[in-house]
Structure 1
């Protein structure tokens, strides 16, 4: 019997445990080794180091499997590496990672700062947490666009980049802090499918909405996890084992399905990129989130 092959077969479908979880499993492994040596007792001078047969090999393989698999997926945050080629597994891992992220919701008077890397340079935005304060977008070419806050159903009107004195227009607040979103993947899927830019079943439009929320909105860990869990329910997703975001950072990618009628030879699907080891969201192959955080005023950076 090939011991290494047996061990590989036993451990190939389980994730690695965190270092803090190994001590107890190491003790179990050594106990299995001692038991195997006792059961297959051989005079010391004739015994080869690391030579076990029969039940001893099975005990060793079981013990090593326990070492590798001791920490459950919910604690480790990763599923088996081989499953990285499965888009559903990637997104579920991203949901687990999101649940572990710190929860630091902004105050209503604060702003969500986001810096993104795009093909034409870097873009910065300051979005009002509650949507009632004036924010700003700074483009790569140095130009800026105001994000007027909506107060009492009215917002400052602009023309040519400048405010029109004394002129307001109807509005609805567009808060950066999305405390109104579902925390359940099924409910999030229903919300995205029914309430946003596309019609029911328009998964390409849903993908744009997922990216919009993930890029420049503050989402609680539960809401962000639900967002990635809802994305995992979209048919036609494809995983790319090795890719990079717009900033050149390597990761694992998910491609969104094209719209019906799109020519796959011409249309290039957006690739949503996550780190390959921790499954943190990085951005896409065209827009990468390189910095984000909560600040007290427009122009500040975390």
Structure 2
């Protein structure tokens, strides 16, 4: 395949560049080459290498809502090429990964518990010490038994769900089994009947105004809340949730996110919401949720948001056990 054919394929789904964008891409390329040639030592690159760098810079300058990843050319692992992925493509890859990795998950009994271990890091926006927690939780599969959960290191012993108590999205496995695994049908379930969006911006959360006029925002938020529940989901549900989100036209890619364990990933977010789904850059495993939050304090008689921070919540271990205190 010649270079011109490669250019056409790479730019097939990319909007035409403006003169300013082309100039900016060319400047970045020449600057990088210039750095390598300082000190009187010229950098000599093969023609195909220069071509690939130029195309990568051009695509990066033109595309929005995409992430650049490395793939192989012609099945040869020594010949990488750069490919841009949209947020929808990232979610579809995450759905495929979920189906392959979740095939062996157990079907829990009602008398068992969902076990989760979650790593949390919280870093102040204005700089300062990063705080870390390792939380473990044992949640009753059907809600009929007491549960134990940790939030930021504090243990909470929760009583069984009352007869008239309703959780949304539900945590009970039997209720989640009734949810559709067709992405189009799941879109109708996510966000239904909601007037406002509740963001997971801290232990008590917060509300986002204007969500009634943006149903897609509600869908994204409900999917976030669903993923914060038990990760041992009925077969196909988590994959369907990712594919449902892929249908939202305004989702965007955040190119480099780092989870609480230091793993580099790619994020998918929605405008004006403060949280992001994070996936492994190579395997597309779901790593966790990143959010921007704050603490509410009473200042001069008014409740104000202070101490803003970034937080990353990464699930490291999930499973099903027979009693509280036992681990998989």
Match of 2:262 in 1: 248
| Aligned-residue offset at 1:66 | 10
2:321 aligned with 1:295:
yes
User: Do 1:274 and 1:281's aligned partners in 2 also have CA atoms closer than 8 Å?
Assistant: yes
Query: Shift of residue 257 of structure 1?
Result: 1.8
Indicate the residue corresponding to 1:161 in structure 2: none
Deviation at 1:5, TM superposition (A): 3.9
Asked if residue 227 in structure 1 is aligned to residue 245 in structure 2, the reply is no
CA displacement at 1:111 relative to structure 2: 1.1
8 A contact 2:268–2:278 mirrored in 1: yes
Q: TM-score, normalised to structure 2's length? A: 0.56
Which position in structure 2 is the counterpart of 1:264? none
Which residue of structure 2 aligns with residue 96 of structure 1? Answer: 96
Distance, in Å, in 1 between the alignment partners of 2:82 and 2:242 is 19
Which of the pair is proportionally richer in helix? 1
Structure 1 position 146, deviation (Å): 2.1
- Following superposition, the deviation at residue 150 of structure 1 comes to 3.0
Find 2:152's aligned residue among 107, 119, 140.
140
For normalisation by structure 1, the TM-score amounts to 0.61
Over the aligned positions, Cα root-mean-square deviation in angstroms equals 3.1
Q: Distance in 2 between matches of 1:96 and 1:291?
A: 20
1:191 to 2:194 alignment:
no
Structure 2 SS opposite 1:239: strand
CA–CA distance in structure 2, aligned partners of residues 127 and 114 of structure 1: 9
Please tell me whether residue 277 in structure 1 is matched to residue 311 in structure 2.
no
Structure 2 match to 1:39? none
Matched, 1:128 2:140: yes
**Structure 2 vs 1, CA of residues 246 and 207 (structure 1 numbering), >3 Å: closer, same or farther?**
farther
Distance 1:200 1:12 in 2: 36
SS at match of 1:130: coil
Partner of 1:117: 119
Distance (whole Å) between structure 2 residues aligned to residue 200 and residue 296 of structure 1: 44
Shift of 1:253: 0.9
Write the mapping of 1:63-74 to structure 2, written as runs, cut at 5 A.
Answer: 68=75
SS state at 2:257 partner: strand
Identify the residue that residue 251 of structure 2 maps to in structure 1.
237
SS at match of 1:193: coil
Match of 2:55? Answer: none
Structure 1 residue 136 displacement after superposition: 1.1
The unaligned stretches of length 5 or more in structure 2 are 12-71, 123-130, 198-211, 291-311
Q: Look up the match of 1:106.
A: 108
Cα deviation, 1:165-188, whole Å, max 9, x if unaligned, reads: xxxxx4347544221211000111
Cα offset, 1:213, TM superposition:
1.5
Give 3-state SS (helix, strand or coil) of 1:99's partner: helix
- Match for residue 209 of structure 1? 222
Written as runs of structure 1 = structure 2, the 5 A alignment for 1:14-25 is none
Residues of 1 paired with 2:321 and 2:193: CA distance?
30
Whether the 8 Å contact between 2:259 and 2:278 is mirrored in structure 1 is yes
Q: Equivalent residue for 1:179?
A: 177
Tell me by how many angstroms 1:256 deviates. 1.9
Structure 2 contact 253–266 (Cα < 8 Å) conserved: yes
How many residues are matched? 211
Kindly state the Cα deviation for residue 11 of structure 1 after the two structures are TM-superposed: 9.3
